[in-house]
Amino acid sequence: MPIDPDLCYRAVASRDARFDGQFITAVRTTGIYCRPSCPATTPKRVNVEFFATAGAAQQHGYRACRRCLPDAVPGSPEWNGRADLAARAVRLIADGVVERKGVAGLAAGLGYSERHLTRVVTAELGAGPLALARAHRAHTARLLIETTPMSMADIAFAAGFASVRQFNDTVRQVYAVPPTTLRTEALRRRGPSPGGTAATGAITLRLPVRPPFDADGLLAFFATRAFAGVESVGESSYRRTLRLPHGPATVALDLPRATDHVHATLRLTDPRDLGPAVTRLRRLLDLDADPLAVDELLAGDPALAPAVAAVPGIRLPGAVDGTEIAVRALLGQQISVAAARTTGARLAADLGERLAEPLAAGGPDVLFPTAEQLAGHAAEVLPGPERRRRSVVALATAVADGSLVLDPGRDPDELRAALTALPGIGPWTAGYVAMRLLGDPDELLPGDLAVRRGAAALGLPATADGLTRHAERWRPWRSYAATHLWRASTPPTGRTAP
């Protein structure tokens, strides 16, 4: 969406934190870019310009403010709400695709030429894929500098830089100081880092959140669906294993009820996976959502308003692995949530890999099986009817041979079509995968029994057709409305209620 300079300046003048991450303020007289809520003296209107991303500000010669740390904010919710090429590219760049495959690999994955992709992204964001990836590398480098005792040379390569010199030059250009100064400033602010050894130690981070934040709802959702061995849910915590591009990892997330951040403690096999891990965790918890915008629109419906008032800041649970969420959805289409949880845990126990070093004693230590493992052996261990085994094997085979791509860069409509073309997968499964894998904010799932039951409980139309017609007023946030309806279908009895 085009940036409205007057609206942006009003947000800066009022230091409105709701806009943090949605645009960047660059001050011509100082050469610094900031988040909208930066506590520094508000610059004159004639001295500022606005950019959609930090990468664009950096490409125009601005450096990051070390007071407000504009890269340490929630991302823009716009990228999850759009299915166009630029938004899909942004999601994949954040997942580290450019570092692993280059711009050519990013373009090929999206089905376009490198030249066309660069032209579209630059026109939309003011910076091309390389500049956006460079901004993400700088952010990952700062996290490693400030939260681990790793050497600067190790950080340079872990963050995706080709050389230590490139790392030093980039940090100086972005933050106006050498890397060692960033570490010194971090130690002065917070004391010694709790991080462990360079390759396998724990890295503790704060993931920013736009309040209000429905932590209870997320934990309840995960608790009712947790695969034993792969994940576990506590009173205020969620732990799980992760399969990342360069190796396995484990994470412990602390989700306090009233906060503007989530604590994440990661143990990585390879520190190059820090950036992708943070991106996937943010998507898992829907941390880049704009809860005030969602709540304002949904509360405008008198029938839905009481649910919104009871649960402000509701979030859309995401996913960290495409194969895992697709199998979860396929099982959930055919059996109950409890039975799907048991079956998924069995698949993980029989076919998954066990980690030698979990994050904590007694914590999750099993990786959910890969598509290749499921394609080769799921039929042997999966209980239930033959039809279910064939569906899971067909799905896994399609992912394993590359004919089905499950990543956040997919177009939602194309993903739904690809999924429903497979045997045993219906519209509900395809919509559910789009909702959780892509973070599609406008998927209603009107045929879902729990959604219809929740609609009836709130006095809304309980038929699929009637609910679909009524839900037109909820666009573009119908996924959040569906989450409210799920909640209304079974009144919560505690933190682990469905």
**For residue 205, which phi and psi values (nearest 5 degrees)?**
-130, 160
The string of pLDDT tens digits covering residues 425-452 is: 999 999 999 999 999 999 999 999 999 9
* Burial bucket for residue 472 (CB in 10 Å: 0-12, 13-18, 19+): exposed
For residue 242, give the H/E element and its range: strand 237-244
What mean pLDDT is predicted for residues 353-366? 81
Confidence grade of residue 132 (pLDDT, cut at 50, 70, 90): very high
The string of pLDDT tens digits covering residues 185-221 is: 888 876 654 444 333 468 888 898 999 999 999 999 9
Average pLDDT value over all residues in the chain: 90
**Cβ(94)–Cβ(104) below 8 Å:** no
Say what percent of the chain tops pLDDT 90: 75
What mean pLDDT is predicted for residues 350-356? 93
* pLDDT for res 1: 52
Q: How far apart are CA 59 and CA 56, in angstroms?
A: 5
Q: In angstroms, what CA-CA distances link 298 with 75, 235, 484?
A: 22, 29, 10
The string of pLDDT tens digits covering residues 167-186 is: 999 999 999 999 999 999 88
Sheet strands side by side (includes 237-244): 202-208, 261-268, 247-254, 237-244, 231-233
* Burial bucket for residue 118 (CB in 10 Å: 0-12, 13-18, 19+): buried
* pLDDT for res 190: 67
What mean pLDDT is predicted for residues 342-370? 89
* pLDDT for res 496: 28
What mean pLDDT is predicted for residues 91-96? 93
Cα torsion through 121, 144, 321, 207, rounded to 10: -80
Confidence grade of residue 300 (pLDDT, cut at 50, 70, 90): very high
The string of pLDDT tens digits covering residues 388-408 is: 999 999 999 999 999 999 999
> Can you give the residue ranges of every domain in the chain?
5-73, 78-147+150-190
Q: What is 78-147+150-190's CATH number, 2.30.30.90, 3.40.50.450, 1.10.10.10, 1.10.10.60?
A: 1.10.10.60
Q: Which residues contact 119 (CB under 8 A, 6 or more apart)?
A: none
Q: How far apart are CA 209 and CA 336, in angstroms?
A: 32
Q: What is the pTM of this model?
A: 0.88
The answer to whether domain 5-73 has CATH 3.40.10.10 is: yes
Please tell me whether the peptide bond between 476 and the residue prior to it is cis, using omega within 30 degrees of 0: yes
Catalytic (active-site) positions = 34, 448
Concatenated DSSP letters of 4-24: -HHHHHHHHHTT-GGGBTTBE
The string of pLDDT tens digits covering residues 21-72 is: 889 999 999 999 999 999 999 999 999 999 999 999 999 999 999 888 898 8
Confidence grade of residue 292 (pLDDT, cut at 50, 70, 90): very high
Assess whether pLDDT exceeds 80 at residue 494.
no
* pLDDT for res 468: 97
For residue 51, give the H/E element and its range: strand 48-51
Say what percent of the chain tops pLDDT 70: 94
* Burial bucket for residue 15 (CB in 10 Å: 0-12, 13-18, 19+): middle
